[in-house]
Amino acid sequence: MDTLGWGSGIAFSVIFGFMGGYSGHLIWRVYLGVDNYQFPARNYGHLGFRIWGTSMRYITNRLQALWLLLILGQVTIQFGQNISQMSQFKLCHVV
């Protein structure tokens, strides 16, 4: 919000919130359309397989694995920086 300002920051937040909600709604509609009792759709790879075939299932699973790896790396770096900053000072760990 510091560089955008209040108006544009709130506008971007609202717009991206609506876009996220709409994309979630679309995924839910696809899920309801392809799910059944004999072959349940358990992940995004199953949705891709039912709509576009085997190659899309592999692509979807690989992209999801890459996303998980990137999120894990981001969290590790973030907490590593926090621990590094905390260990530079001679504070009691209880504080």
29 in any annotated domain: yes
Q: Count of domains in the chain?
A: 1
For residue 23, being part of any structural domain is answered with yes
Using CA atoms, how far apart are residues 38 and 68, in angstroms rounded to an integer?
Answer: 29
1 falls within a domain? no
Instruction: Compute the 3-state secondary structure of the chain and give helix, strand, coil in percent, each to the nearest 5.
Output: 75, 0, 25
pTM: 0.64
Domain assignment of residue 88, yes or no = no
Separation CA 10–CA 76 (nearest Å): 29
pLDDT digits (tens, 9 = 90+) for 13-67: 999 999 999 999 999 998 888 878 888 888 889 989 988 999 999 999 999 999 9
HSE (side-chain half, CA atoms, 13 Å) at 94: 0
Local confidence band at 1 (pLDDT 50, 70, 90 cut-offs): low
Taking alpha carbons only, the member of 67, 36, 28, 27 closest to residue 59 is 67
Angle at 35 between CA 34 and CA 39, to 5 degrees: 110
Per-residue confidence band for 80, with pLDDT thresholds at 50, 70 and 90:
confident
Give a yes or no: residue 89 inside a domain.
no
Q: Which domain holds residue 30?
A: 12-82
